[in-house]
Structure 1
């Protein structure tokens, strides 16, 4: 009987470990799966529409080097916008060959005092390296960990990690432009900019909800909801 209990416990642990292991992008089952970006219409299977959580693959025999290539990442981007920063992604939408590989990249350009506003990546951990300039960066832990703030001032060559799903930010505290590269553990990590999502949702969130949540007057919420919330990515 003890052996049966041990076997059941072992299977339960293995099942839980498998669940944790599959909590990020799945591992590929072939060399590559170059994405077909024209997926506006679902696949029809036996008269039923089938949607895919990701991208369809084209015939591997039709793949070529350009499916795994993107140029121009060395070109500085304009930061003349309300937040003073611009994010240039290199994910599966730009590099079809990233499909199923579980990684992506982003270039972030900052003007002086430029900010990449507080945001989260729901599907990926981020590791950032500063190429030029000085950045003040940080992330906030979840409610259960007391919403602790971890911050650091980074200089050229410094590296910092933002755990998956946690709110984080980067601010250029130097007097010149700054540039950073961010690698993420998903082919399509997604991004939710907090201010944009809360005050710029379409349709707007009921002001009564936000007034109570932020403990402010409805007039403050109405003012914030009327602002233009810029998307820097």
Structure 2
């Protein structure tokens, strides 16, 4: 019994030592994403040899250009993540410009890997997110120029332009690759399609309604 207690105490001491010794700070100045590398990816992209890094790896030009909102939802996102700036790799941040046509929307969606903080640059927006089950509480607010709103990581959220003119917002996200799951696209536009029976039972509608929605996506 004494040996077992000693063994347990030793294990706990080692575990605590490992936790204390963990160093979360970066071990290098940067890790420019090397999309051509054949190295196996674990989380993020392999690093380019730092001696080959140039200013272009940390640069993007285009946020001054209005997004094309001539689409069914009237909204356009211009992302600035690791795909646009390889130097963002491992740094845990990204940006997005969002343009809205009059009454345009960014449909309900989630970012599986990032919290989003949105700043209104022009116009008036209705924004909101929904808390998780079982509450499913909508937390929403009308924003004007200069206002800021936060969407917690993983929660369904949306934006809508309330004005008769165009609107613009800028979002910062806590990941170099935040990802996006637009709810309608995921549910009705999956490939292969989710069974009509599953969706009809889930949304408590006729299968003909599901077929109509799937045809949209």
TM-score, normalization by structure 1: 0.83
Residue 224 (structure 1) aligned with residue 213 (structure 2): yes
Residue 188 (structure 1) aligned with residue 177 (structure 2): yes
Moved more, 148-157 or 64-73: 64-73
Mark the structure with the bigger radius of gyration.
2
Q: Which residue of 1 aligns with 2:44?
A: 54
Query: How much has 1:27 moved relative to structure 2?
Result: 5.5
Q: Which residue of 2 aligns with 1:31?
A: 29
Secondary structure (helix, strand or coil) at the match of 1:116 reads strand
Out of 17, 30, 55, the residue aligned to residue 65 of structure 1 is 55
4+ runs deviating over 3 angstroms: none
Rounded to whole Å, the distance in 1 between the matches of 2:25 and 2:161 is 36
Query: How much has 1:72 moved relative to structure 2?
Result: 1.7
Query: How much has 1:52 moved relative to structure 2?
Result: 3.3
Rounded to whole Å, the distance in 1 between the matches of 2:73 and 2:36 is 32
RMSD: 2.3
Q: Which residue of 2 aligns with 1:128?
A: 118
Out of 93, 96, 116, the residue aligned to residue 83 of structure 2 is 93
Secondary structure (helix, strand or coil) at the match of 2:76 reads strand
Give unmatched runs, 5+ long, in structure 1.
19-25, 44-49
The alignment covers a number of residue pairs equal to 208
1:1-233 equivalences in 2 (<5 Å): 8=12, 28-39=26-37, 42-43=38-39, 50-144=40-134, 146-227=135-216, 229=217
